[in-house]
Amino acid sequence: MNGELDYDDILHFPEEIVVEKINDFYLVIAVQTANWIVLYNSRQIDFLNMLRSGKCVGDVIETVDSEEAMGDLKIVLAAIFARKFAGVNGEVTKEYLEGYKMLNIYITNACNLKCKHCFMLSGKKLENELTLEDWMKVLTSFKENGGEFVTFSGGEPLMFKNFPQIISHAHDLGLKSTVLSNGLLWSGKLIHDLALFIDEIQFSLDGVDEETNSMVRGSGHFEKVVDTIVKFANAGVKTSVATTFTYDNLNENTQTRYKNLVDLIKEKTSGKDVFFKLSKKLLPGRDVHFKAEENEKYSAIIKDIEKHVDENADYENFLAGHTANLVAINCGLGGISVSSDGNVYFCNRINEMESFGNVTEKPMSFFMEKGKEIHLATSVENVIPCKDCELRYICDGGCRIDDFDFAGKIQSSALPYHQISCNDEKKNKLKKRMIDSFNYFYKFD
């Protein structure tokens, strides 16, 4: 919906709409478009139903008999307009998150650090890692077969001696490139030379200062990484700071000291956008093996830290991750991950997955077709009980490793697939976040 609504406009709504009264609010969900609005009384619902019945905007206005009623109609129209909840004189345009058009490249297993929580167990280069020529072919073929996004990680990408040629080639192909780095090997010249080729770069910083960061990543690194973060942001590259705390370096002062770190980096980057990400789940790693209950407790602690930095962070992050009419049918299973030795997996948690072959033995077209097949087969449309849930395209079903009976292993599993972690409590929490985030972001006076 663009521009102003006219008197004769007819709004076209998605076919399946579910209305649920939750406390003092009406949550209105457009199931097929993964979209929702919140209304506040039964008269607003009546106006919504008139518009859904095919009446033009003017005909609905003609039914208004008081200023209060007109105020309610304006709120309904404003909510629809703000979330692009209906199409004007035509259907809503929806988009899909297509994981199989995304490529994760673990370009080397070599790393100059040995972090205790590393889920890749990185450190030593593998004996049979792919060459520069191999990676060039992978990227070219990926692009030729419809690939759009590539993420480079490792290990540490800069431990691959030909990384500058790789990132330059990806840029020349028109791929959108993200780099995940520990930030220690970037010189000023390297930043200057490669910044043009990088669409986004993410650095790991796992403490609030040298002392706490060294507990996870080793000593003597903190200031160097902060300096690299600042230089990339000031070079105009979209820059993210990813922090994974562990119980070793969490204490009663972490909230305040993390906020001080965020403020410091923002001050040094002259107002440029730097995005701060806090891991809310610890994956199985070198010295970390959390059970589900432990991760729930950990997540609550991290959310409190996040809230201390920005009390509205949860609402902002939630809406940022749920763009109107962007349909998520899957957590991302089907996206291609290639390990440093060329083995292919369909999730970035490759140490917990099964390989479907090697890029030196099968063409990228095979893996992209297989990825799409897996992406669709494990979509919320084909798993139980997700396929009958009104939240399926908003929730995406959760992690296919942690939340499903096949634990991410496709080749040895039997149909139908089952989501085994969902319950009414989780669904109600999601609905509350939808209402709260909507009310935070949209104000209709």
The rounded average pLDDT for each run of 10 residues, N- to C-terminus, in the chain (445 residues) is 76 97 98 98 98 96 97 97 93 88 95 86 91 98 95 97 97 98 97 97 96 92 96 96 93 94 94 90 83 89 94 92 95 95 96 95 96 95 97 96 94 92 96 97 88
Ramachandran sector of residue 108 (left: φ over 0; alpha: ψ -120 to 50; beta: rest): beta
Query: Which residue spans within 283-343 are E strands per DSSP?
Result: 326-327, 336-338
- How far is the C-alpha of 322 from the C-alpha of 293, rounded, in Å? 26
- Residue 1 has a pLDDT of 47
* Cα 179-181-182 angle, rounded to 5 deg: 170
Give exposure, 416-445, as e/b (b: 16+ Cβ within 10 Å): ebebeebeeeeeeeebebbbbbbeeeeebe
Q: Counting Cβ atoms within 10 Å, is residue 280 exposed (0-12), middle (13-18) or buried (19+)?
A: middle
Indicate the SS3 state at residue 149: strand
Query: What's the confidence (pLDDT) of residue 97?
Result: 83
How long a stretch of residues is the chain? 445
List of residues 6+ apart from 275 with CB closer than 8 A? 238, 239, 240, 241
Reported pTM: 0.91
Using CA atoms, how far apart are residues 334 and 102, in angstroms rounded to an integer? 9
Phi-psi region of 325 (alpha: psi -120 to 50; beta: other; left: phi over 0): left
Q: Is the dihedral of CA 345, 346, 350, 353 positive or negative?
A: negative
Helices within 187-221 (DSSP H only): 188-194, 210-217
In terms of Cα–Cα distance, which of 347, 410, 345 is closest to 377?
Answer: 410
| Partner residues linked to 22 by β-bridges | 25
pLDDT at 85: 97
**What was the pLDDT predicted at 244?**
93
Q: How far apart are CA 60 and CA 76, in angstroms?
A: 11
Cα 275 to Cα 356: distance, rounded to the nearest angstrom? 34
Q: What is the pLDDT of residue 3?
A: 53
Would you say the C-alpha torsion 382, 320, 314, 207 has a positive or negative sign?
positive
List all residues 6 or more positions away from 167 whose beta carbon is below 8 Å from its beta carbon: 152, 177, 179, 194, 197, 198
3-class secondary-structure state, position 443? coil
φ, ψ for residue 21, nearest 5 deg:
-85, 120
d(CA 206, CA 241): 9
| Tokens representing residue 185 in the block | 């090997």
Q: In terms of Cα–Cα distance, which of 13, 11, 15, 30 is closest to 89?
A: 11
Q: Which residue bears the tokens 């939340």? A: 403
- Annotate 334-348 with DSSP letters as a single string: TBEEE-TTSBEESSS
Contacts of 123 (CB under 8 A, 6+ apart): 109, 110, 111, 114, 155
| DSSP class of 93 | P
d(CA 144, CA 124): 32
Q: pLDDT value at position 132?
A: 98
Domains of the chain: 11-93 (no CATH), 96-327 (3.20.20.70), 379-444 (no CATH)
